[in-house]
Amino acid sequence: MSQEVEKVKSFIIGSGPAGYTAAIYTSRANLSPIVYQGMEPGGQLTTTTEVENFPGYPDGVEGPAMMEDLRKQAERMGADIRWGLVTSVDFSHRPFKISTDDGKHFEAESVIIATGASAKYLGLESETKFRGAGVSGCATCDGFFYKGKPVAVVGAGDTAAEDALYLSKIASKVYMIVRRDAMRASKVMQDRVIKNPNIEVIWNSVTKEIYGTEQGFMKAVKGAILTNVVTGEDRKIEVDGFFVAIGHKPNTELFNGQIQLDEEGYIKTIPGTTQTNIEGVFAAGDVQDHIYRQAITAAGSGCMAAIESERWLQTQD
């Protein structure tokens, strides 16, 4: 008995600003997209509290509420948005073959990948508890909320140095927690951090615990306990924000061997476009962007992917 296969012009893998925006544009182009939202419908912004830097929300907006707005808009345009995970893809020939965890099988004329990237965290139970309530993986997203308050940054590379320097202009004090006695950041970034009077580098230290207050559903970080890996001594620092800057991991495991990835696992796209090395397969948002990682740039690339896929499909008729 043959398996029933749904045929679709545009299949979008993932949600968030990139996936939902792509759904809005492909729907308006009468491509009748099907969207599978993935493990985290709405993407990383669903773990963020207030978003103040996305255009169109003068008073700010809660991350989950903004993603709900985008989802509803995509559905109103006609997108078929479904819960579930894509479990396998075959990009070897068109139509592309896709299977999902609910047992469905699809043949797609074009595919937009918007599976995003996930911030790497330390793996502490207390870190998970306060994620979105003081613990963040994005300084440029959440730094504003700690204006005039002390914060900490964990990491030793260029990203951590950039985050510390960015936060030093906002926060009352920045603690930069470095595991070893040296940074991995470029020399110029190290020099800027060391010379910045608002940044204190805490060397040879790891985070033992993040602590804070809990009142019902309301939580807030109040500080962290650090352990010196050389002496074994603990030190307590009082901070309102705790930023983890140890890297991001693109959600591309599904596409290994199917599409070109860079050395960090991000999908390669032709510069200035969202086109991958497979004609008819496009990538948008953080899954192909390790530089900006903002909701607005993800949404913009979702728009690009939709327009490029529409134009490409026109050439195939």
Task: Report the half-sphere exposure of 248 (CA within 13 A, side-chain side).
Answer: 22
**Distance between CA atoms of residues 296 and 214, nearest Å:** 32
Angle (CA) 189-264-165 rounded to 5° is 20
Measured in whole angstroms, the distance separating CA 203 from the mean position of its chain's CA atoms is: 28
195: its two tokens: 């010379």
- Per the annotation, the verdict on 138 as an active-site residue is yes
Collect all residues with Cβ–Cβ distance below 8 Å to 317 and sequence separation of at least 6: none
Options 138, 163, 240, 289, the catalytic residue: 138
Cα–Cα distance measured from residue 236 to residue 308, given in angstroms and rounded to the nearest whole number? 52
Tell me if residue 141 is catalytic: yes
| Six token digits for residue 259 | 């599409």
Q: Which residue is catalytic, options 69, 80, 102, 141?
A: 141
3-state secondary structure of 3: coil
CB-side exposure of 244: number of CA atoms within 13 Å? 23
- 3-state secondary structure at position 258: coil
Active site annotation includes 303: no
| Closest C-alpha to 35, from 131, 113, 101, 152 | 113
Q: What is the DSSP letter of 14?
A: -
Pairing of strands 234-237, 241-244: unpaired
Which residues are catalytic, by number?
138, 141-142
